[in-house]
Structure 1
């Protein structure tokens, strides 16, 4: 049996986590076997590295930071994602390697070709690509308003300056442009239910019989 690998991407406050829950619940209601997971994290080893990446007090060099993300990702794929796909499950993952390209490649690395090439080589080593990526696109002013309403403690990426977040947004748009049909951009300005319905429609077109 072959499963379906779906990733959700986008900047801070776009609603990925909420939409991942709704999507997983809708697929379960349709009789699908579903695994919902996240990055960084998703396996015991990867969750340990998540704490280092999001809350760590020690600054890493850019390529070292990229490598930690991919160490986490490889553990996640080996121990969580691939076994679920082999069992015929639909895997719904909040972030995957497109986030590393956007945040580290375009955001921190400012689109440096050497950094982007470095990340691309590591992507090739993962040996697994999403079947469908849903990119939630939300203007930054609305994202900031949502983050303020959420009222939770910000991680170190959320605390970076506006120029960084603008580069991340531009990076996601460039990734979508290059990825062809794998990435579907979903406007996230509507209500939670409206966005969910658009996403579910896209997923239903890719579900195996």
Structure 2
């Protein structure tokens, strides 16, 4: 653990927060708003995403989201997600946490559990074994699951993408309905780590609820509420 340059004392490990949910739920927007809120009060947050977040993982991101890996089957896609995640962790997430920075990530291992596991029908034991190898004990401190009806989310995606959809955005409503069910099941299974957020509301209302959750979870000063 590196020293704090101002005090010479060891830096406290940062916090690791992930955003999960279906397409168009507002994960990247809410991740950015939370990072800005924390930053305005002296907490440096590294904003990152999956797949991607490091040079090696960004290369794999292109392969996955372009659909180039799809012909090889969901198991191969799962392995590629795992490889990207490991590079992301070692290159970006863990160094930031060790410095004492917070990390806010748009998607992480839970997306693989839901997208490839539930919707893609990859054996859950295979996914969990891969997760143990690639993630180990480096799991998020808090996971915020943004919940939105699939039809609304897909309409949002279509309006902003102007016809250019990625591998998973091209899937139909039935696929995305399974995803929504999977993320809700995740919250029920791990209530200490995961929180369900109603993403149908105005983005600023959603952001305020997220700030309150983060305040409570990590015992931050109440003045953050006013940001």
Q: When the two structures are superposed, what TM-score results if normalisation uses the length of structure 2?
A: 0.86
The answer as to 2:78 corresponding to 1:70 is: no
Q: Tell whether the 8 Å contact from 2:154 to 2:169 is kept in structure 1 after alignment.
A: no
Q: Tell whether the 8 Å contact from 1:3 to 1:88 is kept in structure 2 after alignment.
A: yes
Q: Tell whether the 8 Å contact from 1:66 to 1:119 is kept in structure 2 after alignment.
A: yes
Give the alignment partner of residue 79 of structure 1, picking from 86, 91, 94.
Answer: 91
Give the alignment partner of residue 132 of structure 1, picking from 125, 142, 148.
Answer: 142
Q: Distance in 2 between matches of 1:140 and 1:87?
A: 38
Between Structure 1 and Structure 2, whose CA radius of gyration is higher?
Answer: 2
Gaps of 5+ in 2: 1-11, 221-227
1:121-143 Cα deviation digits (max 9, x unpaired): 12222121100000000112221
Q: Tell whether the 8 Å contact from 2:151 to 2:173 is kept in structure 1 after alignment.
A: no
1:157-205 Cα deviation digits (max 9, x unpaired): 0001222111111111111111121000000011010011111111122
Q: Tell whether the 8 Å contact from 1:4 to 1:208 is kept in structure 2 after alignment.
A: no
Q: Distance in 1 between matches of 2:214 and 2:72?
A: 37
The answer as to 2:47 corresponding to 1:36 is: yes
Give the alignment partner of residue 193 of structure 1, picking from 204, 207, 215.
Answer: 204
Q: Distance in 1 between matches of 2:219 and 2:60?
A: 33
Gaps of 5+ in 1: none
- State the Cα distance separating 1:81 from its structure 2 match: 0.2
2:218 is paired with a residue whose SS is: coil
Per the alignment, residue 103 of structure 1 pairs with 115
Q: Tell whether the 8 Å contact from 1:35 to 1:89 is kept in structure 2 after alignment.
A: yes
**Quick one: higher RCO (CA 8 Å, sep 6+), 1 or 2?**
1
1:160-199 correspondence to structure 2 within 5 Å: 160-199=171-210
Q: Tell whether the 8 Å contact from 1:133 to 1:183 is kept in structure 2 after alignment.
A: yes
Alignment RMSD (CA, Å): 1.3
The answer as to 2:156 corresponding to 1:146 is: yes
Q: Distance in 2 between matches of 1:154 and 1:178?
A: 31
1:31 is paired with a residue whose SS is: coil
Per the alignment, residue 53 of structure 1 pairs with 64
